[in-house]
Amino acid sequence: MQPFIPWRVVVCVSPGAHFMTIDRNTLYAIIGVLILGCAALAYSLHEEQQKPSGLNISIGGRGISVDTK
């Protein structure tokens, strides 16, 4: 019998499967990855909202193009 360790998390993959314990460092790594993912999503949404609206005038090989946004 293992002693109770409060920073271990028990994960059940599927019903009837053996239990797998995740130690504290792995749990911190998972939480860190989730935080980084949320930060990347927030940055992406922020950049999308910062795009200018109005007219976009481009001069290129095809000539002048005007787009409205």
* Cα gap 24→6, rounded to integer Å: 9
What is the residue-level pLDDT of the chain in tens, covering all 69 positions?
556 655 555 555 556 655 667 788 888 999 999 999 999 999 999 998 887 778 888 888 888 888 876
| pLDDT of 40 | 96
- CB of 56 within 8 A of CB of 48? no
| pLDDT of 5 | 58
| pLDDT of 37 | 96
What is the phi/psi pair of residue 30, to 5°? -65, -45
Written as six digits, the tokens of 65 are: 């193009």
Chain-centre distance for alpha carbon 36? 6
